[in-house]
Amino acid sequence: MSRARVPFWDPEGSRHGGLPTYPWRMAPPHLATKRQLAADGLRPGGQPVCAQVMWRTRSHGGRAAGVPATIGVAYLYDRALAKPKREPTAAQREAIAKALRARRICPECQVERDYCVPRRYGVCLDCHERPERPGGGS
């Protein structure tokens, strides 16, 4: 009898250490690797690994304990339990905006520029290029 055996197909986790195991690219769509979550602006959010994908590799296998170097492993997380990536709070955003605004205001002419005042001049480019700066000698 011939059985088309798909390597690593083990949704029950009976052969691969208790974790449901799928061949690369054959995992259910609601599961994703950390990298895939990150691409969607998500993070695992403290949930345990709920499955893994395995594939044959020559280059970068053996990352998990007890897994031969010829097998690559990636852990999968449930998208439903994933959380949005940490974003700055409103207060933090406000503080950042304020700091940026302060850096755009020229201490000499008090004009808010659409760029940050270059630190090495200490004034905006207009003030820097103005041939005679007020109070600048006779």
The residues of the shown chain that bind Zn ion, judged by CB under 5 A, are: 106, 108-109, 123-124, 127
| Joined tokens for residue 54 | 């395995």
Smallest gap from residue 127 Cβ to Zn ion (A)? 3
Q: How many CA atoms lie within 13 A of 41 on its CB side?
A: 2
Q: Considering the complex, state which of residue 34 and residue 130 has its C-beta at the smaller distance from Zn ion.
A: 130
Q: How far apart are the C-alpha atoms of 104 and 90, rounded to whole Å?
A: 21
The residue sitting closest to Zn ion, measured at its beta carbon, is: 106
For Zn ion, the closer of residues 49 and 123 by Cβ is: 123
State the number of CA atoms in the 13 A half-sphere of 127 facing the CB: 19
CB of 130 to Zn ion, least distance (A): 8
Nearer to Zn ion, 43 or 128 (CB): 128
78, containing H or E segment: strand 71-78
CB of 29 to Zn ion, least distance (A): 56
Nearest-angstrom CA–CA distance, 31 and 35: 12
Closest CB 97 distance from Zn ion, rounded Å: 21
Nearer to Zn ion, 31 or 117 (CB): 117
